[in-house]
Amino acid sequence: MEKNRLYWASRRGMLELDLVLQPFLDNHYDDLPQSDKELFWALLESEDQDMFSWFIDKVDPADPNILKIVKIIRAHTGLQPGD
For the chain, the domain total comes to 1
Examine residue 30 and state whether it is found in any structural domain, yes or no.
yes
Distance from C-alpha of 13 to C-alpha of 15, rounded to nearest angstrom: 7
Examine residue 10 and state whether it is found in any structural domain, yes or no.
yes
- Beta strand spans in 19-66 (E): none
Examine residue 83 and state whether it is found in any structural domain, yes or no.
no
The confidence score (pLDDT) of residue 56 equals 85
Instruction: Tell me the residue range of the domain where 47 lies.
Output: 3-77
Residue 33 sits at φ, ψ, to 5 deg, of: -65, 160
pTM of the model: 0.87
CATH number, position 55: 1.10.150.250
The confidence score (pLDDT) of residue 49 equals 94
Per-residue pLDDT of the chain (83 residues; tens, 9 = 90+): 788 899 889 988 889 999 999 999 999 999 999 999 999 999 999 999 999 999 987 899 999 999 999 999 999 886 655 54
Examine residue 17 and state whether it is found in any structural domain, yes or no.
yes
Q: Using only C-alpha atoms, what is the Rg of the chain?
A: 11
Distance from C-alpha of 12 to C-alpha of 64, rounded to nearest angstrom: 23
Examine residue 82 and state whether it is found in any structural domain, yes or no.
no
Is residue 32 within 8 Å of residue 56, measured between CB atoms? Answer: no
